[in-house]
Structure 1
């Protein structure tokens, strides 16, 4: 349904029965098949979205199946699926006899405390499967809250199974690049570009400035106006957050044409909006956004009242800083827009600093407010830790510790809102804090306590207005991304091997994970120690490879690879550089 509540799309479902032997007879509301040796039911579904004629699309889809047997259809499907799926292989160890135990029983045993590394690996691959099944290069739309699936529950909620831009849609695609499914992001990029036109109108009519802006939700028709509720509706930096996925695509692929033709135009117009929109803080002189909110949280004012809107929430600062920094980097790479770059640089210097509150926590708001809901599921200010890299244990240890305090305070509150995507966040956060045991504990918690027996994750009943558990795909995708983050990180100038490896995965291997800079990584380890790492690149390039506290600087030739072992790193007693050990 369109956001005006009056129109939407037409949908048509058509079915064809292929039978071997037997007789088919039809009635007004049924088909009856007698004495057949085999029956294949083929279903085609299409909508009128984008000007399509669903009846014609269904007929075309079914026509291509008439002369094909079930075996041929299945063979083609498997070939198509495995082209994507087999890019990554993973083995985290196994529980004795686990392969003979049904998945639902394994999940319940994991919940009861039985170690099952293989189930964690299966959950990772399931996240990749759902991504590749639901988002292809030619998909008309990206993954919504339930991916491409619809159980009639999310769509009947106030959130209408839409595209939530205050974390959920981003989470749907955190796995895409590192999980070697880069083309799955293309439908998302198309949706972002379709938002630009309405985003310009929203910027002009609502704020009176140039550029484009969106808020907390969008839909297939490019909705960009604020939402209709306090506490969540006026999240003004959502357009930045979702557009960072385009930047990440470039960072992983190094596609300069994509950067020039698609990424920079989107981010430049967003930057133009925030340059014109932000105002100067009367006391500190900082440039701040607002009124805005820190999705979807509330704080207490000095009078004790509950409030959600404020000036300059920390998540806005994180995203605006990222936006300006990325634009500046692109301008340097492409040698363009130097005058606008000077404006961005001056504005970036006036953004608020991160602040540590009286509990030792990373402040969520510009002022050190008390949280009205200390058990809240959102931790939007921690995007500085993940997916951004503005806070890290190495660069900003005090801020990293403050982020940890924030996490511990939140999840230790009575009745913490532990829904699927917030648990998935914890896996990523603790991986970035290099805490493998905590990351593993929350991954097991996600699978054991926020996942159905079929391994689909769910939003817990009682959260966000839901009266029952409702499937949501973001726990699957973001949780799988967190597992990858435990094994490989590629923030800043470093490619970090096994940064958060837990004891439970002491022996294992992985191949096909992707890293920023256009690299691909295969690894083997035993007794929690690296055995070998092979780093390859289609485009070639230089990278700093970190294992534990040692860094090697390597050069990978175009189409080549570099092979490293633990001994490669042992030769350096402290952080330093080294020539490639093996170059093939």
Structure 2
């Protein structure tokens, strides 16, 4: 190229993983793009991307947005407040998910999303699908952050895993249904890994499949549920066949299996395998409970539902150990690696809600003890995904100071100057910092969780608001039940809340305070909703209805 002041490069990248004539599709796409020209292509891109991105806005306060991002990050590390930079980090997570996982994407986002800096690809554990938290974290923000369509590649992948996992269930376990373990790829690898300390995790596929049920809980889309139900059912069938009765307790248990990548001490030995580690109990319950509820909603499989209910009743309870912690295993073993990055037994706190402040206060207290013991252990393995995990844990525990501290820790210590999160040098043998997608996404989910929660039977506004975000607003965040919420607050007090019903449903909304000076409106007409204890208001809404709360 000579004597030019502008070059327009048009590229179309494809893979034969997706059936079709690649050469023909590529040629057609390039010719069409060339005919449109740069300005038209840019406008089409902005329209297409903005359709998703512009659904949500977030303001957490003033910022230094006249400065370059890397300069703002340096100032944040020095202890200067920049709430607008945290809002930018939140939106960056949404931006990355939109960029990595669209409705027509052939595959879901992997450990590096869709990006590869020629460092990640040289690690044996990267650019793949880890089913012991990482792939799940990639999609934690999708529903609450109004990007439900971005789930579609994940759901397609779960369907493919279920098909491949049927063979694994039969061959490895002699069981019906389907199963997948810790590590998966695009070719249907669902077998256990080759190391028992990390590879024998038979609830990995079920953990991923639980995203199907949570999507339904956010959207109330029964057409989707009808399609997803067979995958959930086949997962449940595996566990109904696989679990056995513990002769000592009479409970149904999985095993032998691991609490992902962690180990315990017994008779001076470091061991990984046990019967029904707590994470298995949590995940099995989630899948069985999803099937019970889905079969009732769809009015199918009454006999199967009876088996599910019976199995749920026979699952072991959570246990609190000698330190006041949630036990990671059925026995109160000593942890072999007290500073370990994995806390899979606390899935019950987040992303699930089997442990909650309102529902199980003693277990919530024990979960806090488990977290404190892990964080305060010498040389805690502080990596991008485990730090992002802490944001969500502390949000559920409504500890705003620690949640905010974890947000700062993720951005200041585990992100680079472009705000991509990293797994630090030395972790899992990495010779250098490795960009990993999950920290950005789980961090974004955690920030949303501080501002809106809906895992109980109600949507709660500002459940974990730190002092540093005393005034702000958001629009477009989503709550389970099919609701979209806009909110503004000042001096930590709600000023205005607007809830749009995306489906017909009953809204239960928990307000941070109910002073008697608030006014309620339905479709601009003042009303008196049903007032419940604990600051909860209840109102029946039809699709398209708008419910507002305004404070004088």
Question: Smaller-chain TM-score range?
Answer: over 0.9
The answer for the alignment partner of 2:313 in structure 1 is: 349
The answer for the alignment partner of 1:10 in structure 2 is: none
Instruction: Give the counterpart of 2:117 among 135, 151, 162.
Output: 151
The answer for the alignment partner of 2:538 in structure 1 is: 553
Instruction: Give the counterpart of 1:486 among 450, 458, 470.
Output: 450
Cα deviation for residue 293 of structure 1 reads 0.4
Instruction: Give the counterpart of 2:472 among 508, 512, 515.
Output: 508
Aligned 8 A contact 1:191 1:222 in 2: no
Provide the secondary structure at the position in 2 that maps to 1:200: helix
Instruction: Give the counterpart of 1:89 among 40, 57, 63.
Output: 57
The answer for the alignment partner of 1:450 in structure 2 is: 414
TM-score, normalised to structure 2, is 0.94
- 1:460-509 Cα deviation digits (max 9, x unpaired): 11112212110001000010000000000111311111000100000000
Cα deviation for residue 54 of structure 1 reads 3.7
The answer for the alignment partner of 1:297 in structure 2 is: 262
Provide the secondary structure at the position in 1 that maps to 2:432: coil
The answer for the alignment partner of 2:99 in structure 1 is: 133
Higher-Rg member (1/2): 1
Residue 277 of structure 1 pairs with residue 262 of structure 2: no
Cα deviation for residue 396 of structure 1 reads 0.6
CA distance in 1, matches of 2:283, 2:402: 26
Residue 42 of structure 1 pairs with residue 10 of structure 2: yes
Q: Which shifted more, 74-83 or 139-148?
A: 74-83
The answer for the alignment partner of 1:433 in structure 2 is: 397
The answer for the alignment partner of 2:147 in structure 1 is: 181
CA distance in 2, matches of 1:103, 1:215: 39
The answer for the alignment partner of 2:459 in structure 1 is: 495
CA distance in 2, matches of 1:234, 1:566: 54
Cα deviation for residue 443 of structure 1 reads 0.6
Instruction: Give the counterpart of 2:430 among 447, 466, 472.
Output: 466
The answer for the alignment partner of 1:66 in structure 2 is: 34
Cα deviation for residue 129 of structure 1 reads 0.3
Residue 526 of structure 1 pairs with residue 511 of structure 2: no
CA distance in 2, matches of 1:540, 1:440: 35
The answer for the alignment partner of 1:235 in structure 2 is: 201
Aligned 8 A contact 2:486 2:499 in 1: yes
TM-score, normalised to structure 1, is 0.89
Aligned 8 A contact 2:338 2:377 in 1: yes
Mark the runs of 5 or more structure 2 residues left unpaired by the alignment: 513-533
Mark the runs of 5 or more structure 1 residues left unpaired by the alignment: 1-32, 568-584
Provide the secondary structure at the position in 2 that maps to 1:525: strand
Cα deviation for residue 566 of structure 1 reads 4.7
Give the CA RMSD over aligned residues: 1.2
CA distance in 1, matches of 2:542, 2:138: 33
The answer for the alignment partner of 1:412 in structure 2 is: 376
The answer for the alignment partner of 2:158 in structure 1 is: 192
- 1:300-337 Cα deviation digits (max 9, x unpaired): 11x11001111110000001111111111112111211
Cα deviation for residue 53 of structure 1 reads 4.3
Aligned residue runs from structure 1 range 93-108, under 5 A = 93-95=61-63, 98-108=64-74
CA distance in 2, matches of 1:52, 1:117: 47
Q: Which shifted more, 212-221 or 546-555?
A: 546-555
CA distance in 2, matches of 1:259, 1:492: 21
Residue 393 of structure 1 pairs with residue 361 of structure 2: no
CA distance in 1, matches of 2:25, 2:388: 38
CA distance in 2, matches of 1:407, 1:185: 30
Q: Which shifted more, 54-63 or 215-224?
A: 54-63
- 1:190-246 Cα deviation digits (max 9, x unpaired): 111111222111111111111111101111122110111121101110111101111
